[in-house]
Amino acid sequence: MKRRTFLSLATVISTLGLKGARAQAAAPTFTFPSIDGGDHDTGAWRGRPVLVVNTASLCGFAGQLRDMQALHEAYEARGLVVLAVPSDDFNQELETGKKVSEYCQMEYGITLPMTDILPVAKGEVHPFFAWVRQQTGFVPRWNFSKVLLGPDGQILGTWGSFTKPGGRQIMALVAPHLSA
């Protein structure tokens, strides 16, 4: 699959040290229903990079859940948020959020934030994925597609299933935003 990466105008301006250029409008915030009840609000994560990954327990790429948990453990204290978004858009997810949560905890030791099962590519997709599509044209073609948000909530990049969560392309964009 071909990888597409998008940088926000604010990131380019900051990286190049340009002055007087106009930055993008503030990114919206999104609320995701948590798999364990309650909500995850991206507004609460402003100031931190956020890696959003659509997951599926029965997918051949499900081993990436282990990679996502490892990133969570290694970099949460330095600011990185890794959010798993289970989806049955490709018919590879368990029947209920409860079963997904139990399976992911048992098989992969998942403690990172997870949403309830949500549509990400088909039908009435979650507003976050509709926004990503509108901003970048990116639509998950399969499970384990990734979207990286910068600390300002803007999209730094998007990747397909074959890019690992801790891959160098993703970490190169995450690293400048981690605290010491």
Query: How far, rounded to the nearest angstrom, does the alpha carbon of residue 6 sit from its chain's CA centroid?
Result: 14
The whole-angstrom separation of Cα 27 and Cα 16 is 21
Q: In this predicted model, which residue has the larger pLDDT, 2 or 73? A: 73
Phi, psi for 4 (deg, rounded to 5): -120, 130
Nearest to 146 by CA among 80, 85, 101: 85
The pLDDT value given to residue 150: 97
Q: Which residues are catalytic?
A: 59
pLDDT digits (tens, 9 = 90+) for 100-140: 999 999 999 999 999 999 999 999 999 999 999 999 999 99
Distance CA 174, CA 52 (A): 13
- Say if residue 28 is exposed, middle or buried (CB neighbours under 10 Å; 0-12, 13-18, 19+): exposed
- Give residue 142's pLDDT: 98
In the chain, pLDDT over 90 holds for what percent of residues? Answer: 84
pLDDT in tens, 28-39: 999 999 999 999
| Tokens (6 digits) for 74 | 């290694």
Q: What is the pLDDT of residue 25?
A: 64
Going by their DSSP bridges, the two strands 31-33 and 39-41 should be labelled as antiparallel
Going from the N-terminus, what domains does the chain have, and what CATH number goes with each? 49-177 (3.40.30.10)
